[in-house]
Amino acid sequence: MAVARSKKSRKYHKTKGTRRPDRRRATLVLTQGDVAALLDLDACIAAVEEAFRLHALGKSLKPGVLSVHVPGGAFHIKAAGLKLTRPYFAAKTNANFPDNPATRRLPTIQGTLVLCAGDDGRPLAVMDSMALTALRTAAATAVAAKHLARADAKVATVVGCGIQGAAQARALLRVRPIERLYVVDVDGARARAFAAAMTAELGIIVEPAPEGLRQAARGSQVVITCTTAKKAFLGPKDVTDGAFVAAVGADNPEKQEISPQLLAESVLITDSTEQCAAIGDLHHAIAAGVLRPLHVRAELGEVIAGLKPGRTAPEDTVVFDSTGIAVQDVAAAVVVYERALAEGMGLAIDFAG
């Protein structure tokens, strides 16, 4: 994913005659490059943290999610609203096809997001969702780690060496003093290439787990799983007391990374308990009969807002079930849109013209 700032693109779509549409009344079309240039990780983390807080305080429209499964993948539609500098509403459609990289040379996740004015319904922007989804997902982990991981955490393990794994590593280093990062992937060559690239970028020791997942995870204070696995691979014996686990990969009922037993024996925090019970790792724990939604200690927003406790002791093992809720998308998209307006970026289209 590109991180360098691109040149400003002052593009306009001509409707009738040669008159250019008013950018503040037109719809901005923003490419993946535009989004990557406009949305930096620190701004995304701050925006996502505030979105979780507002959601916990009841200052958001209830997030909605719809999944449609097709052969080889699925389409996910997530929507929500937030009142920020003004009321905003966003709906994101993402396609998720895990075999794309290997069989079609296409990204696993592709999609678009439509951002609307929440007070009058005008479409403000249509933007690529790939860079936005990667950053807002990693930002949620960073926010969770900030509030739930031990402050002295210095060793971490990331499982899954793709685009999301890289975003997760970058985000984690923003909030915790990580000095060594183990990486694990089903493709050993990819893990080695990932480790070399991230060592150069992050300036810390990044290496493939020398003795496998269990040894690395047990030696880590933070474990992040961001895979497309359909069977749990992290259990109670794989983590040490006091660890923080961010379970990122399970975002539909067929995916699973964390064993029901580990969830049952840990302090469980969700991004949305209702959503996690339907499509997250919590879903599988409920199906196994070892947990019920009432056993969730809190949603992340409730911890941020001070409404409920998160970690209460250094020895607590805390699991954050992260399925990705739409208020994250709204918050990140607003940063992109407002910066695009200020910097004159994007293609302005008057759909009513």
Name, in order, each residue with C-beta under 8 angstroms of 4's C-beta and a sequence gap of 6 or more: 37
Q: Is 260 helix (H, G, I), strand (E, B) or coil?
A: helix
Calpha distance 235→33 (Å, rounded): 39
Q: Which two tokens stand for residue 349?
A: 């289209």
Name residue 93's beta-bridge partners: 77, 112
Calpha distance 65→227 (Å, rounded): 20
Of the listed 92, 146, 230, 231, which one is catalytic? 92
Q: Which two tokens stand for residue 285?
A: 């724990």
Contact at 8 Å (CB) between 172 and 141?
yes
Exposure string over 104-141, b if 16+ CB within 10 A, otherwise e: eeebbbbbbbbbbebeeeebbbbbbbbbbbbbbbbbbb
Contact at 8 Å (CB) between 128 and 316?
no
157: amino acid identity, one letter: T
Based on the residue annotation, tell me whether 230 is a catalytic residue of this protein.
Answer: no
- Helix 163-175 and helix 130-148: axis angle, to 10°? 40
Angstrom CA distances, 223 to 135, 182, 235, stand at: 18, 9, 12
By annotation, the residues acting in catalysis are 92
